[in-house]
Amino acid sequence: MVDVPAKLAARARLFDTGNGRKTDPADARSVAVVALRTRSLTQVRVDDELVALRLLADWRDELGRSRTQAVNRLHRLLLGLVPGGAKRFPDRGAGPGVAGQRRPNRRGRPGAPPAGHRAAG
């Protein structure tokens, strides 16, 4: 198996058909003619490291899809636990619940201004 450069195949297609129109049959014929007549083309071989990297990338993509699927399934189940459903975009300070909890500041009090903050005035 050899690597046929696109420019070389296009030049052969132009000389063969006269108009250079790119169709699948004309393209296949020009690539085959170039591959048979040109001896200095690069031989193509399987690169084991590239195959391993491709397998790892595919596995990573599959893990990402599985994680997204699990998160979406969990979200759907949790929405079923909330009576009447949940807001799509909950307010941060809207009462009890995970979305309504305010994080403590540096002093440890929810809602207090951060340490070192001065009131305007």
62 within a domain of the structure (yes/no): yes
pLDDT at 68 exceeding the cut of 60: yes
> Contact 41/3 with Cβ under 8 angstroms?
yes
d(CA 84, CA 78): 12
* Phi-psi group of 112: left, alpha or beta (phi > 0 → left; psi -120 to 50 → alpha; rest → beta): beta
Let me know if residue 25 belongs to a domain: yes
Q: How many CB atoms lie within 10 A of CB 17?
A: 14
The answer to whether position 120 is within a domain reads: no
> Quick one: 35 and 50 in the same domain?
no
Q: Which domain holds residue 21?
A: 2-43
Q: Is residue 51 part of a domain?
A: yes
pLDDT band at 53 (very low <50, low <70, confident <90, very high): very high
* DSSP letter, residue 110: B
Total Cβ atoms within 10 A of residue 34: 19
pLDDT score for 49: 95
Return the ∠ at Cα 84 (arms to 80 and 87), rounded to 5°: 90
- One domain, residues 51 and 37: no
Select, from the ranges 18-32, 43-57, 68-82, the one with the highest average predicted confidence (pLDDT).
43-57
- Rounded distance, CA 8 to CA 44, Å? 17
78 or 121, which is more confident: 78
Structural domain count of the chain: 2
CB 11 within 8 A of CB 44: no
